[in-house]
Structure 1
Amino acid sequence: MDFSIIQYSKFMTLLAMLLQNLKTLHMSLEESIKWLGEVMAEIGPTHSQKSEDWNIFDVKQANAIIDYLKISLFQHYKLYEFMFYSAREEIVIGTEQVIEVVKSACGPFPNPLEEGISSDIHSTFIEPPTILDTEMKELDQEQGPEESQPETDTSNMDPLAGFNIEDVKSVLDQVTDDILIGIQTEINQKLQIQEEAFNARIEKLKKA
């Protein structure tokens, strides 16, 4: 409507006062319409002998303001009343959870949750034999004493006999590479699935 600065100020004040009357004075729809008419009679067009400086809005502008209030505030008056008067239940859109990591029973060896690796890799390469594995070995020794004799003989031998430091490093490097390759492959598969899902969404948005 190409309002002047004064007209903008009066218009925004009018909107603020209407909402304030609804919120604090609990004016009904009829009371708000009556109040608007009285205010527009003061700041709107007039045929009295007053100076033209008091005529903030002309007839076209006053009608446009009334039409705007009719389709915005007055048409949805019940909705504004509900918003100001009715107590709304607080909706929880988020929650916090605390995950307690159980300390490993293996002493200094970390558990898979702390390391962020799968339980299979942890049990194969990191976790030492459990009590159940020890009991199974003892049971095997009781059932087959003849076969267990070679094992007792070899148990006293150093498992690293015949290997130097370079051989141990080579084995550790190979195991580490196998683990990293498996993790990298899993990450790449997940990234590929996410990329395909994003591409499908983009195509749907383009079609829409």
Structure 2
Amino acid sequence: MAISGGTTPGGMTPAALTQVRTSTESEKDAEFQEHEKILSPDFLSVAQITELLVVDVDGVQRKLETFLNFKNIKTCLKEAILLDYYVSGFLWARGMDFSIIQYSQFMTLLDMLLHNLKTLHMSLEDSLKWLGEVMAEIGPSHLQKNEKWNIFDIKQANAVIDYLKISLFQHYKLYEFLFFSTREEIVIGTEVFFLFLP
């Protein structure tokens, strides 16, 4: 890259201006990629959501069981609990009369919250903070600067947060137990419990 010896009225060389512009563009690209990651509708496809919208409650459960590749739903408590989590979430969203993109974002949000708990070992406080940051991005923008990223209006965003409070967050310790307790701990816990019975 050629560097000019002259300066602009602000005292910056064209090369310096290019570097500033490139840095700013890089930041915008990184921000856009982060938004794309947050908004990525990768948990359920549009076709899968469309299939779920035309079936009854039992159909939603059967289809999600298939989509999630749960094979031992009758014998695996963990699969049964996770299936219930997603089925309940989808049925709640259906009551909200969401658009396809809103279904997609909501179901992805449900999945990401579990992923954060299971993989990143996020505490309840960290999960609440993360949710606040995500909802600030996909919810209504108070500055209207990122309107293209707004998925939910204020009423919908508040409803999503309220739903998560009574579903995942109210039972957060149980989900932690589901992911992090070994079978031996459960057995030992049961044995200790029975020691204290009369």
TM range, smaller chain: 0.3 to 0.5
The alignment's TM-score, normalised by the length of structure 2, stands at 0.44
Q: Relative contact order: is structure 1 or structure 2 higher (C-alpha 8 Å, sep ≥ 6)?
A: 2
Q: Give TM-score scaled by structure 1 length.
A: 0.42
